[in-house]
Structure 1
Amino acid sequence: MITDPYFYAAAIPAVVMVGLSKGGFGGAMALLGVPLMALAISPVQAAAILLPILIVMDVVSLWSWRSHSDPRTLFIMVPGALGGIGIGWLTAAWVTADMIKLIVGAVALWFVWRFLAQNLAAARSGLKQPPQPHRPARGLFWGALAGFTSFVSHAGGPPYQIYTLPLKQDPKTYTGTSVRFFAIINAIKLVPYFALGQFDTANLSTSLALAPLAPVATLAGAYVVRRMKPDVFYPFMYAMVLLAALKLIWDGSASLLA
């Protein structure tokens, strides 16, 4: 178990922010977990310590949002996510997390720009943008990218949101579905993480020490999201995607340039 107090000074805020995200906020807060912990330990070790905590958060989130989900979204995206995780496992020795962060950040930034352009055009014409229908091929692609980036750097949120936010589901349905999607991904990721030797006694005991923070932060996030109206929830979520995109681009660019 890690005993360095500087590690816990970084890890405790990281777990709280990831827990709030797991409760329903999504977006940029979830991406801050590994970078914050990486201030004191390596990013690889930070990701390994965080994964069992994410599983605890998933259990709490599944209970909190047990009555809300869209099975069609899961039916379309989960098979793609399984393929993405498999690709991430097979290419783990060659693909760098920094390169993936830069690409995903750029795509997410384009997604937010497109959303703003469409809403500006709709405001000028006086017509509201209708919800987009499910498109299985597109959902399969973004599901695969979400599974791949989640495996590489726990950054599966933006690809998932690129497909699901335009559906304009009820906020509770959106959150419950995303909770189920990432609970499946994180459970499956345990197998390749074990195979790659990411779980040792020190990492697992550190995860256990931080785990009590997980349900408190997750339930707090769920409490707030349940009380958000759609006209507040969706602008907030797009703002989170924007922050996530900028964070990914910054991290990826800084590391590659260095």
Structure 2
Amino acid sequence: MSDLGTWAWIALGLAAVITGLSKAAVPGGATLSVVLFAAVLPARTSTAAMLLLFIVGDVFALIAYRRHAHWPTLLRLAPAVVAGLLAGFLFLAISGDATVRRAVGVILLAMIAITLWRRHRQDRADAVAPQRGGILLSSTYGALGGFTTMVANAGGPVMAMYFLATRTQVQVFLGTSAWFFAIVNLVKVPFLAGLGLFTPDVLLMDLILAPLVVVGALVGLRIAKRIPQQLFDRLVIVLTVAGAVYLLF
């Protein structure tokens, strides 16, 4: 931590605020937090540091949206997510920082392309009912969501693409996401601890940044109910593309 300069701390502080904001209002915004942390810290270190801050944000997301979750969706995703988490753990254990970043960037861009293509087809076919996705869709997004959240805390955009593909409304989107990541992030803790990524420096850094996550979450809770569905969808897509391109290049 002593090696970090002023601008590095400013970037980390901004990422902490965005983390809270994304948990409470704009899930795709979490990608920017991942990008800022990865720009300042080694990729594996940033994964551990971001995880603890995400857990702080999860608390506020659950307080606000816990009653809006769609549990059949969570249960449908669970088997594939577990498989993705295990694959991500193995990948993280053997891969370097550059490989981790590029792999996640490729996956995110692929998910965006697939989601936009599906939505275009649905629009032309007069759409499908919300919450409908099928086993193949939930298995694909679930596995990739588990993988990307384990290796780089970048599962948010993947799952956001899934909820957009199934045309989930804002409140249900936020409630289901809140429970999904609250559970998944807690499951990830012993895995990353086993890799020795929770160093004293990481824990101290998160202790300093955690209050900024709280600030971002409180702001997010105030604006979430005012965001129109169409604007919400576009924000998620744009933020995801921006973060994926940065991680890739």
Matches for 1:54-203 after TM superposition, within 5 Å:
54-95=54-95, 96-114=99-117, 117-118=120-121, 121=124, 128-132=126-130, 133-203=132-202
Q: Which amino acid aligns with 1:50?
A: M
Consecutive unaligned residues in structure 2, runs of 5 or more: none
Rate the CA distance shift 1:220–1:104 in 2: closer, same or farther, 3 A.
Answer: same
Task: Note the alpha carbon deviations across 1:197-220, whole angstroms, 9 max, x for none.
Answer: 000111101101111111221122
Does residue 1:244 correspond to 2:245, yes or no? Answer: no
**Distance of aligned partners of 1:52 and 1:212 in 2 relative to their CA distance in 1, 3 Å threshold:** same
After superposition, the C-alpha distances for 1:58-78 in whole angstroms (9 at most, x for unaligned) are 111111112211001110112
Q: Does the CA contact (< 8 Å) of 1:145 and 1:159 recur in 2?
A: yes
Deviation of 1:26 (Å): 1.2
Figure out how many residues of one structure are paired with residues of the other and give that number: 244
2:192 and 2:72 map into 1 onto residues whose CA distance is 29
Aligned-residue offset at 1:109: 3.2
Q: Which ranges of structure 1 fall in alignment gaps of 5 or more residues? A: 123-127
The residue type equivalent to 1:233 in the other structure is Q
Question: Are the aligned partners of 2:80 and 2:142 in contact in 1 as well (CA < 8 Å)?
Answer: yes
- Percent sequence identity over aligned pairs: 28
Give the corresponding residue for 1:125.
none
What residue in structure 2 maps to residue 52 of structure 1? Answer: 52
1:24 corresponds to 2:25: yes
| Deviation of the 1:105 alpha carbon | 2.8
Quick check: 1:55–1:186 contact (8 Å CA) kept in 2?
Answer: yes
Distance in 2, matches of 1:161 and 1:120, equals 19
Q: CA deviation at 1:152?
A: 0.9
CA distances 1:46-65 after superposition (whole Å, capped 9, x unpaired): 22222111111111111111
**Structure with bigger gyration radius:** 1
**Structure that is richer in helix per residue:** 2
Query: Which region of structure 1 is more displaced relative to structure 2, 239-248 or 70-79?
Result: 239-248
Structure 1 runs of 4+ aligned residues shifted over 6 Å read none
Q: Distance in 1 between matches of 2:109 and 2:135?
A: 23
Question: Which residue in the other structure is 2:209 paired with?
Answer: 210
